[in-house]
Every structure is written in structure tokens, then in C-alpha cells.
Structure 1
Amino acid sequence: MKQVAGTILMTDGENTQFLVTRDDKTGTYQFFKTPVVADKTALASILEQMRDLLSIELNDLRLSELTTCEVNHEDISLFVFDHLVISPELQDRVTKAGLSFVDGSQLHDLFHDVKIDAAPVFD
């Protein structure tokens, strides 16, 4: 099944944090991912999942980057969003969903699999 990944950036002026999930078995970080719904685009699928899981107002998201990343030896589209306001309520919903905002300095292994110069996967 085709997957799509997404993350939300949170910047405080000095540090940038990324919305990620952590694998309990390996302790590694991963981008939030979801299957691409058969009758929807990859973008629509990730937005719908973020809206439903985190109760995010989609009007508050701004697409800042589209690239690919490798997950289990498969290239998948990675959508990077800026969020206008990261409220304490959103932080709480993120935590309850098993996700977290993690400082980019802790995500070197995750970024190793991001392919900045690759074209997104649209199929």
C-alpha cells in the first residue's frame, strides 16, 4: 500500500522542532505517515489524517516543502508544513496521538533518509 509522510515545523526563533513519532522497539524517530487513500491525492490523505487525528484546522497549515524520504527502502512523498500557532491544546493532542515535537538536532538519523534533491512521488 502506498504511503505518504508529513511533519509540522515548530520554530521558536532559535530552534526548530519537527512533528515525529518514535518507534518503541528501536527508539528511532520516524515521520508521521499514513496510507494514501485510493480516491485521494497524497496531499489530501496526509492532511485528512492530520485533521482527524490532531484536530488541526487545515487553514492554519502552510506547505513549506515537498520532497521524498526513504521508509523501508521505499521512496515516499514527504510534506513539510508550517503551523501558524502551536497552542498548548495542540501540543496536548499531539502527545495523546503518540507524536511529539522533537528538536532537529536529535533527528540526524531521520534526516539521513530525506532526499532533498529527489522529485516527489506522485503515483
Structure 2
Amino acid sequence: MRFAMGVYELAFTMRERVAGGAVVVELLGEIDILAEQTLGPRLETLAGRCRGDLVIDLRGVTFLDASGVRLLLRARGRTVRCGARLRVVRGGSMVSKVIRISGVEPAFTWLDAFPPSAVGSVPA
């Protein structure tokens, strides 16, 4: 959470869209315990509704901690239980380092890129 001009602002957001036949979830900003508590239920709902591919895009993530890793693992579990496939677009070097150090990298199918949001996308 950030404080700017007398107002508290969330330091994260989540956008959903459908692109390339997959539900794409873009995580943006600081994915910490507050983000996990706020975004977790929305992400689990999307993962539970998904019958094909769910792609989580980490390219816009500026900070990731253990809570963010837990958020990804919860989404993975929900997706697998629903018979869908989860893929994750790699984030920046700091995000990749947290994933690697936490030892969860093998739990995910990693992508270096995914179709951009401009062409053929609709809100999820």
C-alpha cells in the first residue's frame, strides 16, 4: 500500500483477459501479503472456472515475496484440480530470483512471452 497526496493506494493490481484461447491474468506491482489476501480469491475463482489454459503473466510484477509465491501455488492447485493447464510468463530478474530461491520453479510451466493484449483480447 502506498500513501500519496493524503490517500492510500494499493501497490498492486490484476487484469484479466482472454487471448490466444487462454485466460490471461496479468499481475502488476507489489505482490505481497496484502496482494495475496486481496487477489487470491479472485485468482482462485478464475482458476476454478478455467477449463483450458490459464496464463499468469508476471512481467509487470515489481516485488514478490513468499505470500506472492503462495498465491501462485494456490492458483496452480486450483487449476490442476479443475483439469486445466497453468502456464506462467516469467517476470523480471528479482521475481525470477525469488521463484528460484523458494524452490518452486519446477512446479510451473514457464513462458518467456505470451500474445500481447492488443490483438484478439477480450475481458475474462
Same fold (TM over 0.5): no
Q: What's the TM-score once normalised by structure 2's chain length?
A: 0.30
Higher relative contact order (CA 8 A, sep 6+): 1
Which protein has the bigger helix share? 2
Q: What's the TM-score once normalised by structure 1's chain length?
A: 0.31
Which protein has the bigger strand share? 1
